[in-house]
Amino acid sequence: MEAEPQAYRGIMVSSTFKDLEAHRREVIEAIHRFGFHPVAMEYSGARSDADVIETSLRMVRDSVAYLCVIGHKYGQTPVDAGRNPKGLSITELEFNEARRLGRPILLFLMADDHPVTKGDVEPDGKKQRKLKAFLKQAKRIDPSKAMERVYETFKSKDEFAKKAAIAVGLLAIQATGGSDIPDRAIRDAIARFIDIKPEANHAALADAIKRFEADYRALKQQLAAIAVSDNGVTSLKAAAEAALAEGDLAKARAAYREAAEAARHMATEPVRTAAELKSAEAGAHLLALDWEAADAAWAEAAAMLAPFALDSADRLVEHGGKRLERYGAVYGRAGALSAAIGRWRALTASAEARGDKRGAARFRANFAGALRTQGERTGGPEGVRLLCEAVAAYRDTLTVLTRGDLPTAWATIQNNLGNVLASQGERSDGAEGLGMLDEAVTAFRNALTVYTRTDMPADWAMTQSNLGTALQAQGERTGGPEGLRLVDEAVTAYRNALTVRTRADMPAEWAMTKSNLGTALQALGELTGGPGGLRLLNEAVTAYRGALTVHTRADTPADWAMTKENLGLVLELMAEADPDHARAHLLDAEAALVDALSIYTPEHMAFYHDKATRSLARVRVKLVRLDTGSSTDQR
C-alpha cells in the first residue's frame, strides 16, 4: 500500500536547489495553476541524512507524478551505509524510486549552453562522473535497455518555464479522462494555447482542449467525406489523413495545402474538390490558432469556386466569416474580427450587385453584428465610428426585412439595432447620447410587439433585459424625478426577464440579467440616497455576487470581468453611503477592479480597460485619503 499516492493530486518537484531555485518557482507556479499540488523540499524542514532519505522517498510515494530537473550539479549525497550504499544524490534516489513505482516521469535536462554562474557547475570530479552516469540512465525508460524516454532540454529559464507548463498542462488534461486524439496533437494544442493565454488556469485549458478535440474530430470527418478520383490527389489526401491521425498538425496543414494545389491544377479533378480541400486547409489553420492563414485559405477557396458556382463560393465565404468572427470574439483578436467584417462587406456588395436584396440584407445584418462587437471592444473615436456604421447597416436591413413580410426577422433586427444604439448612446455625451438611448428604447419596444411572452418567451426575456439596459442609461443621464422613474422602469424590465431566465433553465442568461439588474439597482440606489439608497446598493451587491456564481473567470472571462468591475463600482458607492464601513467597502472595491483588469487589455478591450483603470485609481485615492483622515468624496 506504500506505493499508492495520497488522495490529493501532488506532483513531486525534484532537483538540486540553489542552482535551480528560479526554475523551481516557475514549475511550482504551473503546478498550482493547473490544479495540482507541488510536493517539494520548499515545504519540508531541515532534517538529518536518514530523515532526508525517508522524507524524500515518501514524497515520491505520495505523488501522482514525478517532475525531475537536472542541471549541472549533482547535489547532496546523504551518508547512510544501509540505505544509500552507493552514495547517490537525493535527486537520483528520488528518480529511482519514481521509476520503481511506475510514476509518470516528466524529465527536463539543462542544455550545455544554458547561462550559468560558476557556482551552478559541479566542482567535485567524483560527483561530475556521478552526474554524467545519472544523466545517461535517466534518459532510459529501463536502465538495462537502450530505449530512451521522452524528455525535454532547455537553454534558458523562460524556455524551461514554457516547456514545464506544457508538460504539466498535458498531465492535467490526461488526468481528466482518456481521449481518442493523439497525445502529440493535444500537447501541441496546449503549447499554442499557452502562447496566447500564458496565465490560463486548469479550467480554461480544459475548455480550450475540449473545443480543440471537437474541431479536430470535425476536421477528420470533413476530410474523410471529400470524394477524390485522381490517384495523385488521393495519395496527398491520404497523407493529410495519416498526419492528422498521428497528431502532426504541421504536416497535416502542409499536406492539405499540397492536395488542394494538386486538385486545383488537375484538369480531371472538379474545382469543387479543390475548394473543399482548401477550406479544410483553412480549418486546419484555425485549429492551430493561425487565423491569418485560415483567412487566406478561405479567400483562395472562394476564388476557386466563384467562376463556376457563385452561390457555393458565397456560402464558403460566409462559413469562413462566421468562424473568424467566433475566433475573434473568443480569443479577443481584433484582426480576426476585422477579417470577418471584410467578408460580410464583400458578401453584401456581391448580393447587391446581382440584385439579391434579401440575401444582401441577411449578410448586412451579420456585417452589422461584427461591427458592433469590434466597436464595443475598440473604444475611442474608432469604436464610435464602427458603431455608427453598424447602426446604418441595421437601418438599411430594415428597409428590406419588414414587419409585414418577415415579422420575426424584423424583430430580431430591431433588437440588434437597439443594442448598438444603446452602446453608441453610452459612449456619446449630452443631447446626442440621450437621443440615441431614446431611439434604442423605441427599437426594443418595437421588437416586443412581435416578441411576446406567450409566443416567444426566450426572445421576449432577452429584449426585456436589453430594454432595461437602455432605460437605465437613459435614466442616469436624465437625473431628477424623471431619471428615477426611468431607472425604476429598468429594474422592472430586468425582473420581467428573470421570470423566464431562471438559473435552472438558462444559467448564462440568468447571470447576465442578474448582473444588469445589479447595475440598475446601483443607479437607483445612487439616485435615491439615504437609508433607502443604501438598501438598494446592498441589493445590487447581492445581484452581482449571484451573477458571479455563473460568470466565472474560466468559462466567461469577459462577462466575469464586467461583473467584477460593476461590483467594484457599487462597493465604492457603499463606502460613501455607509461611512462606518467605508474602508472595508473600498478594499473590496479595489480587489474587484484589480480582478476586472486581469481580463481587460488595452489592445483588445481598450474602452473597458481605460474605464476600469480610472475607477481603480479613484478608489485608491479614496483609501489614501481615508487613511490620512481627509475627505473621500472624489467622484
**Predicted confidence (pLDDT) per residue in 211-270, tens digit:** 999 999 999 898 888 887 777 788 888 888 898 888 898 898 898 888 887 776 664 457
Mean pLDDT within 333-359 = 88
As a whole number of angstroms, the distance between CA 418 and CA 383 comes to: 17
Residue 322 has pLDDT above 60, yes or no: yes
Q: What is the pLDDT of residue 632?
A: 46
As a whole number of angstroms, the distance between CA 93 and CA 85 comes to: 11
Q: What is the pLDDT of residue 47?
A: 53
Q: Report the DSSP beta bridge partners of residue 68.
A: 14, 107
Mean pLDDT of the chain: 89
Q: What is the pLDDT of residue 558?
A: 86
Q: What is the pLDDT of residue 451?
A: 96
Mean pLDDT within 438-454 = 96
Q: What is the pLDDT of residue 546?
A: 95
Question: Contact, 578 vs 563, CB < 8 A?
Answer: no
Residue 500 has pLDDT above 90, yes or no: yes
List, for residues 600-624, the tens digit of each pLDDT value. Answer: 988 878 888 999 999 999 999 999 9
List, for residues 82-138, the tens digit of each pLDDT value. Answer: 899 999 999 999 999 999 999 999 999 999 999 999 999 999 999 999 999 999 999
Amino acid residing at 46? A
How far is residue 147 from each of residues 39, 140, 447, 554, 604, measured CA to CA in Å?
29, 6, 69, 40, 48
Q: What is the pLDDT of residue 635?
A: 46
- Grid cell 463600482 in the structure block, residue: 569
Pick the range with the lowest mean pLDDT from 64-78, 97-111, 132-146: 132-146
Amino acid residing at 28? I
Confidence band for 14, pLDDT divided at 50, 70 and 90: very high
Residues, the chain, total? 635
How far is residue 84 from each of residues 52, 135, 165, 528, measured CA to CA in Å?
11, 19, 33, 76
Query: Going edge to edge, which strands form the sheet with 152-154?
Result: 37-39, 10-14, 65-70, 105-110, 152-154
Pick the range with the lowest mean pLDDT from 247-261, 434-448, 574-588: 247-261
Q: What is the pLDDT of residue 486?
A: 94
Question: Contact, 345 vs 371, CB < 8 A?
Answer: no
Residue 50 has pLDDT above 70, yes or no: no
Q: Which residues contact 289 (CB under 8 A, 6 or more apart)?
A: 192, 193, 196, 331
